[in-house]
Amino acid sequence: MCDLTNGLDRPCGDITILLASSPIPSHPSTRLISSVLSSLRFIKDLKKDTKVLIAQDGCDDSDVLPTYDRYLHKLERLLDRSPLNSRIVRNPIRGHLTGNIRNAIQFVDTKYVLMLQHDLPFVTEFEIYPVIEDMEATPSFKHIRFNRRSNVKAKWDAQSDLFGKQMQGKNCTYTRTGAWSDQNHLSTVDYYKTIVLSEVSDGTFMESVLNERSHRDHERYGTYIYGGVGHPAMIRHIRGRNSSRYAAKDQFAICCDLFGRGVRKISKGLRGT
């Protein structure tokens, strides 16, 4: 659990949200990425002026490019009508996830970065600044993952005996794991530049390199999961890569009252189409 009643007034500085996206079969629809942007309302203490960088990877497929360009145009129009402090950063080449992040992170000017992916919206409320304060106070917390399943020993988390030790920060509880995941997580820009991007080349899956290394050298990679053992899922996967039939009945929109002022108002004009 996390203590949300300690009256923090964001003592640890601001963060940047970096949302990585790339060509997918559902384009030119913006519904999928709109669902992730809309889910930022679950971060109860996020400031209205928090910078949101939407890192769009390059496209090297001439058959896909026209559709991708239509999607980007629709996304620009969507963001123009939204309350987000957002910017699209388009990678000039196809860099895959690693290269896309390498291109976009040069525009991050905060210490902390919240890494998101275009098909992983949040589903549970939490506060981000208590987590940042815990990371400031506990240097071993280097990579805090927001899990898409409950915090149980499964899949990559089960590859070693590192999983399961509960660590109590000043504000929140975390579960130690040996697994390194590129799914939604909080880290520092320095961590990305000195570890992730220095160890993984463009076009290579970060997880395929860093997961094994993290199990062997947990002190270096510092991987933890938000919440104690058994904590429910924080995000869900809407499968952007494999299908265009994702959550068709959901009403995706960007919230006008995005950052938790009480009544959540959904702007009907901002639905992805």
In a domain, 7, yes or no: no
Residue range 142-180, pLDDT digits in tens: 999 999 999 999 999 999 999 999 999 999 999 999 999
Domain range spanning residue 123?
15-270
Report if residue 56 sits inside a domain.
Answer: yes
**Residue 165 maps to a domain:** yes
On whether residue 10 sits in a domain, the answer given is no
- Mean pLDDT, all residues of the chain: 87
- The set of residues, in sequence order, having a beta carbon less than 8 Å from that of 120 and lying 6+ positions away, is 36, 148, 183, 184, 235, 236, 237, 238
Nearest to 232 by CA among 42, 21, 35, 31: 42
Q: Is residue 82 part of a domain?
A: yes
Contacts of 95 (CB under 8 A, 6+ apart): 57, 58, 102, 103, 202, 203
Q: pLDDT tens, 224-264?
A: 999 999 999 999 999 755 444 433 333 333 343 344 343 34
For residue 81, the domain's CATH number is 3.90.550.10
Number of domains in the chain: 1
In a domain, 2, yes or no: no
Task: Say if 6 falls within a structural domain.
Answer: no
Helix (H, G, I), strand (E, B), or coil: what is residue 69? helix
Q: Is residue 3 part of a domain?
A: no
Beta bridge partners of 126: 43
